[in-house]
Chains A and B, each alone.
Chain A
Amino acid sequence: MKYLSRYRRHKAVAPLLLMFALFAIGTTFSVASATTTPSQSAFARSVAIDEGRQLFLKGCSSCHGLNAEGGAIAPSLIGVGAASVDFQVGTGRMPMADMSTQAMRKKPVYDEKEVAALAEYVASLAPGPAIPTDELLNYERDGSTAEGGELFRTNCAMCHNFAAQGGALTQGKYAPTLMGVEPKHIYEALITGPQSMPVFSDKTLTPAEKLSIIKWIKAAEAEPALGGASLGRVGPVTEGLLIWTLGIGLLIGVAVWLAMKAR
């Protein structure tokens, strides 16, 4: 020990110790990370990321930038997460058909595998909300319709209308109808807040509450038109239109007939 302590103030000690510490940390980290990631799926992921990057460069980079850093007309995608990509591309909103006020839902341009690849690529740029798993999305088991309706009316109806039929926002923007939207996409919209929609974090609405909302929307979608034709479930406007056209129209027709001279 005397030998070591004699040279403890030698000028080479500090750099050597630093080198040793770095080496030790590096070795530990590489061992640790190698054990947590099976090399098989890491390989598949890197392939998907690469595939996603190719798709991204072809289909998205002209607006979102070569490294998804964003540009004058499109936001940066670094940190938006896989859920955001799955929602925007999976519902056909992205790529946009034109530079209108709002991207609208349409037939998706990419198939499921391509959407997954794009999501992997964007998720690889920085951490962000992940795509909810099927296990998480079991709304039939974990949701409650009545509670979902109450939450929907409190949080969603002001834009999406009482029966989730959609509604107008300012400057030509709109809250779309939620009829026929996949539960996965509703969940993703809630956690990513696409376009004018706010983000409903797990603190605002717990995952179980989100599932309740989805369950209520699905119930509203499946509900038969109880009182006859639903007239679009948009409130009294269509009712007024019907009474002013069919209602009074029929009766005026009858009145003309009644007042005709008998022949």
Chain B
Amino acid sequence: MTARERITGSVANYVDERTGAAAWMKKNLNKVFPDHWSFLLGEIALYSFIILLLSGTFLTFWFDPSQREVIYDGDYQPLSGLKMSAAYASTLHISFEVRGGLLMRQIHHWAALLFMVAIVVHLLRVYFTGAFRKPREFNWIIGVGLLTLGIVEGFLGYSLPDDLLSGTGIRIAEAIIQALPVVGSYIAFFAFGGAFPGEAFIPRIFTVHVLLLPGIFLALITVHLMLVWYQKHTQYPGPGRTEKNVVGYPLFPVYMAKAGGFFFIVFGVIAFLSAVASINPIWLYGPYTPGQISAGSQPDWYMGWLDGLVRMAPPLETHAFGHTISWNILIPGLILPGIMFTGLALYPFIEAWISGDKREHHILDRPRNVPNRTALGAMALTFTIVALLNGGNDIIATTFNLTINQMMWFSRIGILVLPPIAFVVTKRLCLSLQRADRDLVLHGRETGTLVRMPRGEFVEIHEPISAQKAWTLTQHEQPVPLELPATDARGLKRPGAIKNKLRNRMSRAHAVAVPKVSAADLKEIEHH
């Protein structure tokens, strides 16, 4: 034993005698995780969050969350002598006078954008591979909660500096609150402590932004990760991988090194972006005054789809019982997002109800093998992308020499027409890919080698694929639709006939698939 080993051993022993950590550590450090690039997407979100906490703490040292009016006399000359809120002035102070302040602000903002991108990309991976299925439905809901809170948290952060752009955003948020029938104007009054803009809002959202929501985030992220730990990570199908095992590398040392390294790479990419690309140049926007507005006022991208929905809404209003109901804000600003997020959160339960599948799943689906789910996902994604594009309709119009009216009509029609098209096309693509898989298994890989037979016939040589690959391509289940009988054993009509009929139909649609290669098929092929 070398001296170093002796010292390490005695330190470890000292700790273990007092905490009993050795057994726990041994068990958990050997925990196995499967290896795939798409399993690292959630990690990007986690690391962005850590960077957000650290850079955000730095910013609070100088940020003054107050709407008290001050006269600017800082370093940035084009604003000197102007009246502005202390919040805005202190953000300028961070940007121009605090050492490294502008870099930190940019790190915080780029990390926020990346956090939301990573959450969405991670969500798409989980959705399209069916990782949300039993037993992971709760974790899916927590994920949807993190996404929703992330949007709110991001918006509050965007609003804090009290520049012209963020003030415009708050004004729109106020309009959306006011669009709530009957109670809207009261809630807006409570939130702002009086009429807009007032002096209360920024101090209030500051507390929510730096204390309440980060606290909830920490709690939810902890539960999210504990559930991953406890339920074990899903894995892609492959030889030797079953519903009862996890094939991969142990946490220590492989994943400790990979995950630790990845944190620094994420940090590096964010720091790189922050060093070379400007983000939210608040000094150009100027201080917020309700009388001012800039062309091309946009929210950050994760709110862009919401802005896009509001921008495309036709002007509809109802006046009833002395109240105005602004459908043009209520529908795109509250009702549609409500439906979207509720649908997203409930999707695992809806799919389980349709398919009648109550078993646990730890092996992921290949997206093509569940055409209906994949097509639904493509449909929702198309809807959101059309809305997001319309959120930047003015910038797109001026960049590509279009008119803003063309953009609006494209979005209004496209948001209704394109998602169903995306559904049909994706479903057919999935089925075609299944057919291609089937061909590959049955006939092997096309080698491109042409052979001329003695009779003059030309044939291409097909090379059989490896057993491992064949297994991967054929391991999935052939989906079976629910067949809920309309009558029971005694020939009596069962209750809920209409519901059952609907469920049967949806289940049949969900189970559409190309017949997978059976043992009989393979035997037949061998005879040839």
Contacts and interface: CB of A to CB of B under 8 A. Distances in A.
Interface of A: 101, 145-146, 149-150, 153-154, 157-163, 165-172, 174-175, 216, 219-220, 223, 225-231, 233-240, 242-244, 246-248, 250-252, 254-256, 258-259, 261
A153 B286 contact: yes
Given A174-B398, A226-B102, A240 B304 contact: yes
Interface centre among A174, A237, A258 (most CB of B within 10 A): A237
Q: How large is the interface on B (under 10, 10 to 19, 20 to 34, 35 or more residues)?
A: 35 or more
B175 interface: no
Contact of A150 (B40, B270, B286, B405): B286
Enumerate the 8 nearest inter-chain pairs by beta-carbon distance, A residue then B residue, closest first: A167-B295, A240-B301, A227-B278, A172-B403, A162-B294, A168-B394, A255-B40, A259-B37
Contact of B114 (A101, A171, A248, A259): A248
Contacts of B38: 255
Contact of B113 (A160, A175, A243, A251): A243
Interface centre among B40, B283, B293, B294 (most CB of A within 10 A): B294
Given A162-B164, A228-B277, A247-B113, A167 B402 contact: no
Contacts of B37: 252, 255-256, 258-259
B164 A153 contact: yes
B376 interface: no
A145 B298 contact: no
Contact of B276 (A145, A228, A244, A259): A228
Contacts of B397: 168, 172, 174
A228 B275 contact: yes
B110 A243 contact: yes
Given A237-B395, A239-B301, A242-B277, A157 B295 contact: yes
Contacts of B80: 146
15 contacts: A157-B295, A160-B295, A162-B286, A167-B294, A171-B403, A172-B402, A226-B95, A228-B277, A229-B277, A239-B277, A243-B117, A244-B117, A251-B44, A251-B269, A256-B37
B113 A239 contact: yes
A158 B294 contact: yes
Given A162-B165, A229-B276, A171 B110 contact: no
A100 to B, nearest CB: 9
A52 B89 CA distance: 54
B278 A230 contact: yes
B265 interface: yes
Contacts, number: 202
Given A146-B77, A146-B81, A258-B258, 12 more contacts: A145-B77, A157-B293, A158-B293, A163-B281, A165-B296, A168-B393, A170-B405, A226-B102, A227-B102, A235-B298, A240-B300, A259-B39
A64 B40 CA distance: 66
Interface centre among B121, B261, B269, B291 (most CB of A within 10 A): B269
Given A146-B78, A258-B261, A247 B295 contact: no
Interface in B252-297: 258, 261-262, 265-266, 269-270, 273-281, 283-286, 289, 291-297
Interface of B: 35-41, 44, 77-82, 95, 102, 106, 110, 113-114, 117-118, 121, 164-165, 258, 261-262, 265-266, 269-270, 273-281, 283-286, 289, 291-301, 304, 392-395, 397-398, 401-406
Contact of A247 (B95, B110, B285, B291): B110
B458 to A, nearest CB: 39
Given A153-B294, A167-B394, A259 B301 contact: no
Contacts of A243: 110, 113-114, 117, 273, 301
A149 B81 CA distance: 11
Contacts of A238: 395
B276 A157 contact: no
B121 A248 contact: yes
Contact of A259 (B40, B280, B297): B40
Contact of B280 (A239, A247, A254, A258): A239
B118 to A, nearest CB: 7
B117 A248 contact: yes
A231 B40 contact: no
Contacts of A166: 295, 398
Nearest to B261: A258
Nearest to B286: A153
Nearest to B294: A162
A145 B294 contact: no
B110 A168 contact: no
